[in-house]
Structure 1
Amino acid sequence: MKLSSLFITSLLLFFSFGIVKAQDFTVNGIVNSDVDKMPIPGVTVFIKGTSNGSVTNIDGKYSILLKEEDKGKTLVFNHIGMINQEFIIGDQTQLNVNLIPDMEELEEVTVVGYSSESKKLLSSSLQSVNSETLKDLPVATLDAALAGQASGVQINSNSGTPGSALSVRVRGVGSVNAANQPLYVIDGIPVISENSSQLSFSGQTISALSDLSPSDIESITVLKDGAGAAIYGSRAANGVVLITTKRGSSGKTKISFNAFGGVQQVYKRLDLLNKQQWFEFKNDQLGVEKYTQEYIDNYPHDTDWQNEIYRDAPMASYDLSLQGGSNKTSFYLSGSYFMQDGVIKGSSFDRTNIRANIDHHFSEKVKLGTSLQFGMSENDRIEGDQSLNAPLPNALSLPAIYPVYNEDGSYNEDGPYANPVAIGNETINKAYTYRGLGNAYLDIALLEELTFRTQVGFDYYHLREHSYDPVTTRQGASYNGLGFSANNTSINTTVNATLQYVKTFNDRHRVDVLAGFSSESYTNRSNYIRGQNFSRPEFQYITSASEIIEADSYGLDRGLNSFFAKANYSFANKYIFAFSVRRDGSSKFGNNNRYGTFPSASVAWRVIEEGFMSSSDVVSDFKIRGSYGLTGNDAIGDFRYQALYSSGADYNGQPGIAPSQLPNEDLKWETVKQMNIGIDLGFWNDRLTLTTEVYQKATTDMLLSRPLPPTSGFSSVISNIGEMRNQGVELLLGYEIFRKSDFNWKASFNISTYRNEVVKLYNGQPIDNIGRGNNRIEEGKPISIFYGYKSLGVDSSTGDIVFADLNNDGEITSEDRTEIGNPHPDFFGGFTNTLKWKNIDLNVFLQYSIGNDIYNGTRVYLESMKGEDNQTTAILDRWREPGDVTSIPRATANDPNNNNRASNRFVEDGSYLRLKNVTLGYTLPKTITKKVFIDNLRVYVSGQNLFTLTNYSGMDPEVNYAGDDGVRMGTDFFTYPNARVYTAGLNVSF
């Protein structure tokens, strides 16, 4: 019975196996590239019209289980950048496939306004930076990633303050009172980028862009000319920066982890007087030997204050992402964390981000997608530049004779300025930001050539600030504790709707027409409160203050409605024409000018497509472009056209209001008219490429304050009364020096120059005495020239500075002031080298600026030769007796000649060449990594700001104490220097 049972069971299993074999079968094989015959991982293999599929592994191998009823169906092989291959399923069990590159799909496509376009068909001026370039730049913010990479885009760090704003100038400074920063658009949605801080930290403001993670960026495109930017209308005068984030694709899910960590160091310090030199200087200043050598030798303190506030500061970044999907749904998910301690005690920046980008095809005609990001950051700030309660200015100004601590361990506050170590260690200046940024879109293919797209986006930005000076600091002690609390919430919502028609007729005529509507709504609410007299140092929030001495609140709602259209036409990919127009309606302006129209036109001739170029073996690309467009600048205060009233006009104990602003119903945005001519060249199959641009950019209807007679009760009213012009030349050169299978060397060089001129001011009246650099705005001159006295050197008989009597009236008065410097560079740009030898890669990036002047406001105090400030060692060469020949005046307690007045004595050449980044990497061979299921593993070491060639005597030539201010330019005033950074990191993907 047992044997028979076993026999029967075995027989049944045999037949059932035969039945399965008859119904199910497996097809396997290898997918290679038709070009180099190398295996292609991540190819999706699926039955057409079903979800049954497989994906090739790292060796290009696949295996898919099919059923008998699948015979006769179509098996599809799909991979990005390749032409789909389709095969009818038969009896085969082995199927090897060679995929052919899709040259049209691989052709470089770039994002432009509300759509994308092939670069070869562009007639406007733009420049892109992709993720491959960004991965070699360990930077904290997305705008820093552009520095030196794009011609015509000047980016300065201003300072080394963690998380602070950068200055981004696209083709020069175009406005006096309106903003000079570009418009930032992320995944089609304009985002908040301005400073929302209510607490003053001089020019080193908080940047809303610092809350966005650079690791999520796929590409950055800068629209530079009027034709490219006009589609964004009234906010595009300073250029437009389009940011595209990474998205998923069908195929195997790719897991990527990137991390780097390192240390930052101050690479240059000022040489300041020690105690011996300080006492000798004081004796010289007083004219008597008050401090004998015996006194100096026995004096117990010789503090190096720079050593006390500077530190080696760590920084680190970690990001993890998942990228993949099916032929229906794709996704990109990421999380990142970045931390940076500042090189000055008390400063730091921490940021956390998560992102989800999801796209889903409901059908061949309907696609839905979303992009969501949430981020939060914590910024420990320190006062800087002009503050009397700032670590760096006080550390540089305090003489070495004062100790850090008293004998009982408390902070010493005997000096003329507050103890900088106490400020760095004890003062609390926290800024917490919470950022939500997202959008959802729906694409519907109404016809094969006609697509409707609607998009809804939001940007939520909340900044909470908390500041507290305890009694252990000088400022805190004077108030028995001083506290601030501020909240600022901004919400920007956007709705876009576009209809796009793209059609090619007879393979020669290509038409691309887009029309759309956009509506934006911006809301802001803020409040601020200040309190003092706290019961104990441990109680640091406003609720513990016994006196509330100041409070304020603010609310704002504004809107922008827009209609826009653009049309592109190309004939045989040879003759290209493009037109666009946008009409904006803004609540910032009155009924007389509520709406403005911004048209543009451009044309291009692809000479390379002409018959007479077909025989050329040298020239591979040749295109001539021209464009003209109008853009606007509306970045001024809201409701400046209205008659406003403010409270506070109280009388006899009763609340009252009073007029605070005169109306101007004719007020409108500034208009920029820009003309651009460009040439694109490629040689030897684009091994050598050259792009050059010539442009003129004229700003009209500039928003300036027009003086009023005192009898009006107002000093001025804002009006459209100024003009300015920028014109320049840009050049971008790329050369693939070596192009071999095991060694590749690419070099890219860009150089830009512009000339700025203020053409018109109200009645020709200059605007004078601006900021610490004594900047001036004057017709016929570049904006913000340095204006002061001309020093002729030190009089060898008196030791005083001799100033030029330019009007020859025998006196030195304000009428003798003249232009003493120019903050604008003659040239600026960057130079990048990328080398790859087998598994080793090297990226070297240099940034430079030539011909710009810096007003060294730090020297005004540290080489003043008077007062109680410490001095630099440059004053050791000071004038001491008649006959001395020197550039440093005498030391004096009383300076009737005002030797340290604003003069060219403090204007220096700010030119520099900086090794901005060096990255050396090694990628492990795949024969090793695939054994541990790793697709790619790269390790690298990197350095930023490794050396700087400059004649500037200050701590850092890449500096501006006023941050991104477009008027107070080029001045160094005790400004936080950029640090030298050493990092090591890894990139790994599975």
Structure 2
Amino acid sequence: MRRYLLFVGLLLFAPLVGHAQSTGSVAGTVTDANDRPLPGVNVAIQAVQRGAATGPDGSYTISALEPGQYTIQASLVGYETQRATVTVEAGENVVQDFVMTAASLNLDEVVVTGQGSEVSRRALGTNVSTISAEDIQETPTTSIDKLLQGRVPGSTIRSQSAQPGQGALINFRGITSVFANQTPVIYVDGIRVDNSSSTSFSFGGETTSALSEILTNDIERIEITKGGAASTLYGSDAANGVIQVFTADGEAGETEVTFRTRQGVDFPVSRFFKDTGFSFPETREDEDSPDFGRTNYIENEFLRRGYSQDYYVGVSGGSEAITYNLSGRLQDGSGVQPNNSNTLYALRGNVSADVAEELSVQFNGSYTRSNFTRLSNGTAIADPLTMLEVGDAKFFTGTNNLRDALDMATLPQIKEGVDRYRLSARAAYRPNELFNSSLTVGIDGRTNEQRALFPREADPLTGNTNGSLTRFNRDFKSITLEYRGTISYPREGPVTSTFTFGAQGFRDEESQVWAEAETFALPGTEDVGEAGSVVADELREQVFNGGVFFKEQLGYENRLFLSTGLRLDGNSAFGEDVGVQVYPSAELSYILTDEPFWQGSLENVLSQLKLRAAWGQTGKFPDPFTRDVTFQATSFRGASAPRFDNPGNANLGPEKTSTLEGGFESSFFDGRFGLDFTVYQSRTTNALFEVPEQPATGRGLQFRNVGEIRNVGTELSADVRVLQLENLFWQVGGSWSWNQNEMESLGGAAPFNIGGSAEFAQQRVKEGQPIGAWRATTPYDSNGDGQLDASEFRFTGETPFPVHTGAFTTSLTVQNFRLFALADWATGSEVLDWGSHWASFNGLERAPRPQKFDENGDPITDADGNPVDFSTAEAGSALLQDGDYLKLREVTLSYNVPGSLLDVAGIDQGSIYVTGRNLWAFTRQELVDPELAGLTDTDNVALGGSQSITLSPPRQIQVGVEITL
């Protein structure tokens, strides 16, 4: 039997061995001008469509090359593309190193997102942003949402709070819908993944997010389209844009082991609290109070320093036939407030194999386990931070001092565990240089379990005499299947053509089960089944989307490109009378500086100029089952009683967003100065609103495609190489974006409020106004005597989301030292301060309100003759705080240890860094952190801009070490 197996093995592997002996390879190292290795560089031989990405030490290997002469190209975002010609001999390895210099514009950079196939940036008529592996190394963040802050022009990215498990609200180019969240679609290695920003019970408005587990481990690059024409090929799911993450492959050669560790300290940000010296006056006035002298109780006794540690081990390598990249990560941390711990375990693997010369396969897999504890927050009575700040701590806990109140407020245990896995397989078939194709299949699964136990000892907080327990489970699965093919003919000559076609489909399934249990006979009980009273419910949803796409790109002299595309989509949420939806697109790109007449004196000033324009449509499909006539059964007197639920709509279709954009990309003075400009206009038609049915039918509300939404804006980014010497490099950059949003038509529907509204301040949807424009009770002079004597609802002229956003960056390299800093800013919004509203119930004026007069112009006074101010119900405008901010987001100092020192220890590469995040902030007020999205627990679109007492993300100082063996 053993002889038989050996014989079969020789038959299987002999062709591969023979093939390897008749081929050669190219290998080398890519470094920058300061001899630092550059990871993530795309080294490719375009003639045969073979390539590799450099590893942590900057090395690469391209194997299984037939003997002959090849042109090799090395490209990386932010660097000038380098080329070299090599001659490969059978059975030999050619060494070809590259030294890359920084560049403000690289037209040879290859992108994939929104194009259907690999396309050089020179051929793009749309704006696709790219974040490289080097960019990721510059930041201490571990999740993708925080990584994007300040790095993507045209984006608004706002955190929720400092609590673990939360992700940011992400929005590109304005609000395009009022019925659904604005989070872009996210793909990882070609697989659509869960991007929900609300995956749990909120316990006060702040929810956990699926974005927090999309880690920055082993990412080669990230490509971002911001909706519109760049996202057309994604059809009915991409009106909010697309974020595509590509993880790193292994490289042929000796096994490399990379170890990273990071230790950090978190410092709480307390500047937005007036603290107990304000909320409990007796702490500074009453010497007999047990709290006397504790005027900064929140800062000194509630908040604390947090600690974090992070360990990573990665192993990569392989042969000419098969490569691998495996890694594991452990993270543990304690937050800056009680009951805020978190742990994370992550495993990831990637295996690529050349099955034959024309066929390669790749397998990717990852698993993440997260555990964390949280506090009640925001609007919850049990939120200790709110109780301390607004004066409710003793009242709600039934205690007579702050220490006992805090002990009781931290008794509730809110725990959550998340299991997430992602598996994908991809086969690429390239029979020749004219045709290539790929098939990708994969699944993303996420299961989380949340338990919130309010023990018997915390009775005053809930009113339950024997404790309560809330249990929430969510199970999500997304299956993706995609085929893409590309025909490139002719590939050479004055006119070139690339035709891409394919099919793509996904199926999302989500189930939620929750139970609320009360009255436990025994202390320490944590099971729903042991409660005296249990109320439970369940939700199940599924949606399927499938489509085919086609794209033709014509090129002339490699400087003029015209592309047209088409996507045809079907979706299980469409009404039965809707049919297939069509999404067309067109793009134009023209490299003016490649014209012969530009060569010479003109190119010395304006080195590169690309003009581009694009138009395209994309969509957003309705929620599952909103098209259907449905009934619901509820419990009534011990029986299941049916009732009418949804009237249904056979004509229900997707919202469609049409975008026209244009702009240019340019570099001046031999690439020392780069400028990128985009102007766009998008219009969403068939916007979905809940429209009342005829009252006599008793059918309530039904979603219908009746509205129109308009967004116009500009995006500008620039970077300058200030100095570029042998051992000194200094670069600065900046970006600015502007967006104007307007609800053009409600289609006959009445104006309505959406999430974040209060009885005195509303996020209003009204024709002629931005979506969610603030409308608040406003004191005014009703009789012209110059005194405020009445109040009415008025629009404030501001929105819950910023109108202007931008960032500044600088990078300074001196020999082996590098200093990087990033600051981002936003203006043009207002934030509703719920905390000041709660404080007013205790007679505390946290946010000043105007004095109230009567119709005769006399001040209104109380029984003691003291002037009376307008109440918060009458002066909601006083609770809207200025949302402008400027934050120093990141500062990192790194040192690459010289090779002469590392060789002694047998280390290939080593670096040490110190990094800080959220180090400094400027705001125009001191009551709320304007960056925070705040309360996001809403059935409508989450715009943010509405906060209770919310703790800002902490200041972080971290020290890290990375070595490669």
Same fold by TM (over 0.5)?
Answer: yes
Q: Secondary structure at the match of 1:422?
A: helix
- Residue 931 (structure 1) aligned to one of 877, 895, 904: 904
Deviation at 1:967, TM superposition (A): 5.0
Question: For residues 627-684 of structure 1, what are the alpha-carbon distances to aligned partners after superposition, in whole Å with 9 as ceiling and x for unaligned?
Answer: 10001012x431111110000274x765331211101111111110100001111112
- Assess if the C-alpha contact under 8 Å between 2:583 and 2:616 holds in 1: yes
Counterpart of 2:660 in structure 1 is 675
Match of 2:502 among 493, 516, 519: 516
Pick aligned residue for 2:547 from 562, 570, 573: 562
Gaps in structure 1 of 5+ consecutive residues: 1-28, 45-54, 63-72, 282-292, 405-410, 792-802
Q: Read off the aligned partner of 1:679 and give its amino acid letter.
A: F
Equivalent-residue separation in structure 2 for 1:56 and 1:591 (angstroms) = 51
> What does residue 205 of structure 2 align with?
203
Structure number with bigger Rg: 1
Matched, 1:480 2:471: no
Does the CA contact (< 8 Å) of 2:848 and 2:878 recur in 1? no
**Mapped partners of 1:80, 1:538: distance in 2:** 65
Q: What code does the residue aligned with 1:906 have?
A: L
Q: Does 1:868 align with 2:852?
A: no
| Structure 1 residues 33 and 255: alpha-carbon distance in aligned structure 2, compared to 1, 3 A threshold | closer
What secondary structure sits across from 1:129 in the alignment? strand
Give the corresponding residue for 1:823: 800
- Give the secondary structure class of the aligned counterpart of 1:298: coil
State the one-letter code of the partner of 1:378.
N
Say which SS state the counterpart of residue 774 (structure 1) adopts.
Answer: strand
- How far the C-alpha of 1:922 sits from its partner, in A, is 1.4
Q: Is 1:960 aligned to residue 933 of structure 2?
A: yes
C-alpha distance in 2 between matches for 1:278 and 1:350: 36
Could you tell me which residue of structure 1 aligns to residue 324 of structure 2? 331
Say whether the 8 Å CA contact 1:125–1:225 is kept in structure 2: no
Match of residue 854, structure 1, among 831, 848, 857: 831
Q: Give a deviation string over 1:505-556, Cα, whole Å, max 9, x none.
A: 44332221111112222222332222122232222122332x2320122333
Rate the CA distance shift 1:98–1:390 in 2: closer, same or farther, 3 A.
closer
Structure 2 counterpart of 1:50? none
Shift of 1:812: 7.0
Amino acid paired to 2:427: L
Partner SS state of residue 464, structure 2: helix
| Partner SS, residue 152 of structure 2 | coil
Unaligned runs of 5+ in 2: 1-25, 44-53, 75-82
Distance in 1, matches of 2:107 and 2:906, equals 29
Counterpart secondary structure, 2:142:
coil
What percentage of residue pairs aligned between the two structures are identical?
A: 23
Q: Distance in 2 between matches of 1:674 and 1:806?
A: 48
Partner in structure 1 of residue 762 of structure 2: 774
Match of 2:529 in 1: 543
Task: Classify 1:150/1:913 alpha carbon distance in 2 versus 1 (closer, same or farther; 3 Å).
Answer: same
The counterpart of 2:774, out of the listed 786, 789, 793, is 786
Deviation at 1:309, TM superposition (A): 2.3
**Is 1:300 paired with 2:290?**
yes
Aligned-pair CA distance for 1:79: 9.0
Is the partner of 1:617 in helix, strand or coil? Answer: helix
1:122 and 2:97 equivalent?
Answer: no
Q: How far apart are 1:253 and its partner, in Å?
A: 2.5
CA change 1:237–1:868 in 2 (3 A) is same
- Cα separation, partners in 2 of 1:806 and 1:186, compared to 1, 3 Å: farther
Q: Note if 1:837 corresponds to 2:830.
A: no
The alignment partner of 1:744 has SS state of: strand
Cα distance in 2 between the residues matched to 1:555 and 1:181: 21
- For 1:889-928, list aligned pairs within 5 A: 898=871, 901-928=874-901
Deviates more, 1:254-263 or 1:742-751: 254-263
| Aligned partner of residue 370 in structure 2, secondary structure | strand
Distance across 1 between alignment mates of 2:710 and 2:890: 34
CA distance in 2, matches of 1:34, 1:653: 74
Aligned to 1:109: 110
SS in 1 for 2:262: strand
Using the alignment, how far apart are the partners of 1:640 and 1:874 within structure 2?
Answer: 45
Query: For each residue in 1:580-620, what CA deviation from the matched residue of structure 2 results, as whole angstroms up to 9, or x when unmatched?
Result: 11111111122111421111111111101111111121222
The whole-number CA distance in structure 1 between the counterparts of 2:873 and 2:88 is 84
Looking at structure 1, the residues matched to 328 and 863 of structure 2 have their Cα atoms a distance apart, in angstroms, of 60
Q: 1:478 to 1:684 in 2, by over 3 A?
A: same
Q: For 1:629, which of 616, 636, 657 is the aligned residue?
A: 616
Pair 1:711–1:106, CA change in 2 (3 A): closer
Shift of residue 265, structure 1, vs aligned partner = 1.5
Q: Distance in 2 between matches of 1:456 and 1:344?
A: 42
Cα distance, 1:324 vs structure 2: 2.2
The residue number in structure 2 matching 1:618 is: 605
Counterpart in the other structure of 1:346: 339
2:361 aligns with: 368
Contact 2:775 2:794 in 1 (8 A): yes
Q: 2:192 touches 2:506 (CA, 8 Å); kept in 1?
A: no
Cα deviation, residue 696, structure 1: 0.3
Q: Which residue of 1 aligns with 2:15?
A: none
Report if the CA contact (8 A) 1:486-1:526 is conserved.
Answer: yes
Supply the distance in 2 between the matched residues of 1:539 and 1:150 (Cα, whole angstroms): 48
Corresponding residue to 2:242 among 230, 233, 240 = 240
Letter of the 2:377 partner, please give it. G
Does the Cα contact within 8 Å between 1:647 and 1:657 map onto a contact in 2? Answer: yes
Distance 2:163 2:860 in 1: 33
Cα 1:390/1:126, change in 2 over 3 Å: same
1:30 and 1:312, CA in 2 relative to 1: closer, same or farther beyond 3 A? closer
Quote the residue 1:989 is aligned against.
964
Counterpart Cα distance in 2 of 1:141 and 1:38: 30
SS state of the match for residue 299, structure 1?
Answer: coil
**Cα 1:399/1:669, change in 2 over 3 Å:** closer
> Displacement, 1:730?
0.4
Task: Describe the shift of the 1:912–1:277 C-alpha distance in structure 2 as closer, same or farther (beyond 3 A).
Answer: closer
TM-score (norm 2): 0.85
The worse-fitting range, judged by mean Cα deviation, of 226-235 and 970-979 is 970-979
3-state SS of 2:913 partner: strand
Range moving further from structure 2, 673-682 or 957-966: 957-966
Contact 2:852 2:870 (8 Å CA) reproduced: no
Identify the match of residue 485 of structure 2 among 499, 506, 512.
499
> Which position in structure 1 is the counterpart of 2:219?
217
Deviation of the 1:723 alpha carbon: 1.1
Cα distance between partner residues in 2 of 1:782 and 1:60? 51
Kindly report which structure 2 residues correspond to 1:711-750, keeping only aligned pairs within 5 A, or say none.
711-750=696-735
The one-letter amino acid of 2:811's match is: T
When residues 960 and 893 of structure 1 are mapped into structure 2, their CA distance, relative to the original with a 3 A threshold, is: farther
The 1-side partners of 2:526 and 2:843 are apart by 32
Contact 1:305 1:396 in 2 (8 A): no
Partner SS state of residue 144, structure 2 = coil
State the distance in 2 between where 1:36 and 1:151 align: 28
Q: Mapping of 1:451-466 within 5 angstroms?
A: 451-466=436-451
Per the alignment, in what secondary structure is the counterpart of residue 763 of structure 1? Answer: coil
Tell me the SS of whatever aligns to 1:916: strand
Classify the secondary structure of the residue corresponding to 1:947: strand
Identify which range, 928-937 or 260-269, moves more after superposition: 260-269
Q: Deviations over 1:920-974 (max 9, x none)?
A: 1112111101111112211111111111011122242212222387455312221
d(CA) in 1 for partners of 2:478 and 2:331? 26
Q: Give CA-to-partner distance per residue, 1:208-230, whole Å, 9 cap, x none.
A: 12112212221111112522100
Match of 1:765 among 750, 756, 771: 750
Q: Distance in 2 between matches of 1:657 and 1:582?
A: 41
Bigger drift between 728-737 and 388-397 goes to 388-397
Query: Which amino acid in 2 is paired with 1:108?
Result: E
Q: Which shifted more, 190-199 or 594-603?
A: 190-199
CA 1:115–1:33 in 2, change beyond 3 Å: closer, same or farther?
closer
How far did residue 354 of structure 1 move? 0.7
2:708 is matched by which residue type in structure 1?
A: E
Aligned to 1:798: none
Per-residue Cα deviation, 1:830-851 (whole angstroms, up to 9, x for no partner): 1111111011110010011123
> What is the rounded CA distance, in whole Å, between the counterparts of 1:344 and 1:39 in structure 2?
40
Residue in structure 1 matched with residue 585 of structure 2 by the alignment? 600
The alpha-carbon deviation at position 254 of structure 1 amounts to: 2.4
1:68 corresponds in structure 2 to none
Superposition CA RMSD, Å: 4.1
Change (3 A) 1:97 1:630: closer
In the TM superposition, residue 790 of structure 1 has moved relative to its aligned partner by 2.7
